[in-house]
Chain A
Amino acid sequence: MSSQPLVLGIETSCDETAVGIVRGRTLLANVISSSVEEHARFGGVVPEIASRAHLEAMPFVIKQALREAKVALRDIDAIGVTAGPGLIGALLVGTSAAEGLALALDKPIYGVNHLSAHLAVDALDESRSLQPAIGLLVSGGHSSIIEVTDLAKGVSVLGATIDDAAGEAFDKIARLLELDFPGGPAIDRLAKSGDPEAIDFPRGLQSSDYNFSFSGLKTAVSRYLKQVPSAVKADVAASFQEAVVDVLLTKAIRACTEKGIDSLLIAGGVAANSRLRAEAQRRCHLAKIELRTPPAALCTDNGAMVAALTSLAVSGGVSPSTIGFSTLSTVPLDQPTWS
């Protein structure tokens, strides 16, 4: 297979049906169909609704990605698909479609780790070399600090949240503030008109390790709202957001310093948060650390990230997954592809 493999990647771990196509490290197509609107009225992702939407959208999303990339399925060298972690019923729609494509085309299939894939979008910036980095992965399902040396072979997790993920905390606080679902963008918007220093919310886990805890912060916000019914919502949103951003960046930058790695890669849905991006810029500049943040469109769940990780695996000589590999809802982050 060429060193510039043409790879189609499928992602269905939550509420986005997504297909991306890459050639080597070049992004050719990234098509996403979201059922988020259908979930909004339930205040959270409803697994059965997500799974039905995935099945309905899948063939259209595949065809649209092929059109955008101007390639045909028969030209594809390998298929990549998110095998976990995620909602099992949702994942199975993606893995089954991927297996169908791979068997029909007689091409290798790679079941990949959703979390490693989030970091792999970094490879799509062809202007950079693939150098070691500290990864800060923040999304609705995960908040982790990861040492990345070779994404295709494995990463090491330095720390993770011990309770809620950052994105989950955003969703919960948004609900308390009676904002729309998903909570992340809603708080980001509201916080712009608020004072981030209005309320001094606790930062949680000030320990010397790389773990996070957001449940104390969540309780503090909820208690504050009860005690101060006249609170300005924008100030609460801004101050809450400030606390999350502070905790995430303090630990991530300390990891860079302590590990002697001068590159910070921020990925995952929460990496689209404008305050996190701005503050990361400021602190990295001060600490003389190179900041790598993928474009916002590649931070939320997408198929390009799956294709990117698969492409790295193919180029790196990683063996494909066996036909009928298992789909798992939880997997260790340091396992990038399935055997």
Chain B
Amino acid sequence: MTKVLVIDTSTDRTSAGLVSEDGVLANHFHDDPLAHGEVLPKLVAQILAAESTVDLVAIAMGPGPFTGLRVGIAFGEAFALAREIPWVGVSSLGAMAQAHNDPDFIVAIDARRREFFCEHYRESELVAPARTLQREELSEFTIPIYYEPPTVSAIAALALAGQTTTEPIYIRKPDAYPAPKGITFRPWTQMDLVPIYALEKSIYLDDPWSLEQFKEEYAGKSRQYLVAEFEGVVVGYAGVMLAGDVTDILTLTVAPEFRRRGIAREFLKRMVDWSRNQKVDAMMLEMRVGNAEAEPLYLESGFRKIAERANYYGPGLTAIVMRKELGK
């Protein structure tokens, strides 16, 4: 009889259990999204106090919030190493799906930042690989959506059936970006208006803002404008404004020869920080359809398309309206 030590820290719940072919021998859990590190060793100690023989370690490999997820994997791997027994990892969403047999359903794990790691099953088959969906996107589905953490018996069953993985399932890339070298960022001053206008004219050929518009912006309240400078020359500018319960990105412009150096990303990060400080719910922006360079950056930063406005930038030029929820 194989005794499987099951470890799961991929949701807000920390679970540990001992499962054999005969069923669940022990099952302990504790719900606290911030205490996986403290809770897991205590739960396992409780199991071992009653039965210390373990033949296999089965670890839920996510997806799940990263910090908690790694607690279970680091613990389980080290435990197996010390006991000289094998360990296997299983998909947390896959284990969650074991509990349901609706013809069409979704399993979802809170990924924080108002997003969920999701898998869609139809007739017991996985329809699409695991991905993240925003809370709003998820709420548009009319089929059942299950959020219950995986059971220890489902994790053990997948482990014993050989449906395993050895890598943590992260889905999301780490929040990291290169710091643009030699570029300084600062709030704009009146002296920047003319260089900014010159850059504006050279980039937005059909419909640039006028110098007067920039001057009005400069005089305006409840907004933050930043410039990026390289060797004393303005190479980019961005502005965001408080508009009721959201902030609105007014412009985000980088000189063509300075693109792909993380400048836009740094602007965006600073505007997000500023917006959070305004205690608003969300950020909005309008983007020209087909702005291939900007779109991936916005999507990656959590902006989602909410509407289109035809002829917004002039005849035939459609704007996409995007929104990013700031959450807690």
Choice from A42, A55, A94, A105 contacting B177 with Cβ under 8 Å:
A42
Instruction: Flag if A89 contacts B67 (CB, 8 Å).
Output: yes
Within A20-63, the residues touching B (CB, 8 Å) are 41-44, 46, 48-49, 51-52, 54-55, 58-59, 62-63
Instruction: Flag if B81 contacts A101 (CB, 8 Å).
Output: yes
Instruction: Flag if B71 contacts A96 (CB, 8 Å).
Output: yes
B246 CB within 8 Å of chain A: no
Band of interface residues on B = 35 or more
Within A275-316, the residues touching B (CB, 8 Å) are none
A325 CB within 8 Å of chain B: yes
B268 CB within 8 Å of chain A: no
Choice from A48, A58, A97, A98 contacting B176 with Cβ under 8 Å:
A48
Q: What distance in Å separates the Cβ of A171 from its nearest Cβ neighbour in chain B?
A: 12
Choice from B40, B170, B175 contacting A96 with Cβ under 8 Å:
B40
Instruction: Flag if A48 contacts B78 (CB, 8 Å).
Output: no
With A41-B178, A55-B168 given, is the CB distance from A103 to B74 under 8 Å?
no
Q: What distance in Å separates the Cβ of A48 from its nearest Cβ neighbour in chain B?
A: 4
Instruction: Flag if B39 contacts A324 (CB, 8 Å).
Output: yes
B55 CB within 8 Å of chain A: no
Q: Which of B40, B73, B176 has the most CB of A within 10 A?
A: B176
Instruction: Flag if B37 contacts A48 (CB, 8 Å).
Output: no
With A48-B174, A92-B37, A95-B37 given, is the CB distance from A100 to B78 under 8 Å?
yes
Instruction: Flag if B78 contacts A98 (CB, 8 Å).
Output: yes
Q: Which of B70, B73, B78, B179 has the most CB of A within 10 A?
A: B78
Interface segment, one of B41-49, B157-165, B299-307: B41-49
Q: What distance in Å separates the Cβ of B258 from its nearest Cβ neighbour in chain A?
A: 17
- State the CA gap A51–B70 with chains docked (Å): 8
With A51-B67, A55-B70, A55-B73 given, is the CB distance from A324 to B78 under 8 Å?
no
- State the CA gap A283–B40 with chains docked (Å): 51
Instruction: Flag if A88 contacts B41 (CB, 8 Å).
Output: no
Residues in chain A near residue B179, CB distance under 8 A: 42-44
Instruction: Flag if A48 contacts B70 (CB, 8 Å).
Output: no
Band of interface residues on A = 35 or more
Instruction: Flag if B81 contacts A96 (CB, 8 Å).
Output: no
Residues in chain A near residue B82, CB distance under 8 A: 73-74, 100-101, 104-105
Q: What distance in Å separates the Cβ of A95 from its nearest Cβ neighbour in chain B?
A: 6
Residues in chain B near residue A100, CB distance under 8 A: 41, 74-79, 81-82
Choice from A46, A62, A74, A96 contacting B37 with Cβ under 8 Å:
A96
B interface with A by C-beta (< 8 Å): 36-42, 44-45, 48, 52, 66-67, 70-83, 168, 170, 174-179, 181-182
Question: Can you list 18 A-B contacts (CB < 8 A)?
Answer: A42-B176, A48-B66, A49-B176, A52-B168, A59-B77, A59-B78, A59-B81, A63-B81, A73-B82, A74-B82, A89-B66, A93-B71, A96-B71, A99-B75, A100-B76, A103-B41, A103-B44, A103-B45
For the complex with contacts A52-B70, A101-B82, A103-B41, 6 further pairs of A-B residues with Cβ separation under 8 Å are: A46-B176, A52-B174, A59-B77, A92-B70, A92-B71, A93-B71
Minimum-distance CB pairs A-B, first 9 = A100-B78, A104-B82, A48-B174, A100-B79, A97-B78, A96-B74, A46-B176, A100-B75, A99-B41
